[in-house]
């Protein structure tokens, strides 16, 4: 069962950097992604917006597989800053999990 982590949720929703609330789940981003990984990016952002830190963390390798190529962002209908959002999650993992 998925559990919401309130402190993770707060970091995501109060961040100036993470702007995935505009996502309409249209799926264009996932369709154009060169990696063809179902999780990237809209499903991953949905987990983050719901505060499901465990679901985000168990997909750490996928988060680092993102090419940051912005093919998704060039096609996004809602102006979501997808590359910045992925970097935000990486920064969270680097600091809180990897302790870099």
Least CB distance to other proteins at residue 42 (A): 19
Q: Which of residues 25-84 bind other proteins (CB under 8 A)?
A: 34-35, 60-61, 64-71, 73-74
In the numeric block, which tokens belong to residue 27? 């799926």
Q: Which residues are CB-neighbours of 46 under 8 A, at least 6 positions away?
A: 23, 25
Told to check if 88 binds other proteins by CB under 8 A, we report yes
Q: 51 with 44: CB under 8 angstroms?
A: no
Tracing tokens 């987990």 back to the chain, one arrives at 47
CB of 33 to other proteins, least distance (A): 10
Binding site for other proteins (CB under 8 A): 34-35, 60-61, 64-71, 73-74, 87-95, 97-98, 100
């Amino acid at each position: 069962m998925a559990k919401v982590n309130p402190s993770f949720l707060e970091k995501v929703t109060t961040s100036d950097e993470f702007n995935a609330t505009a996502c309409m789940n249209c799926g264009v981003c996932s369709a154009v992604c060169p990696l063809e990984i179902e999780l990237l990016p809209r499903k991953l952002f949905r987990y983050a917006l719901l505060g499901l830190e465990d679901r985000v963390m168990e997909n750490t390798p996928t988060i680092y597989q993102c090419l940051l190529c912005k093919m998704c962002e060039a096609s996004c209908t809602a102006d979501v800053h997808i590359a910045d959002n992925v970097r935000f999650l990486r920064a969270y993992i680097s600091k809180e999990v990897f302790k870099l």
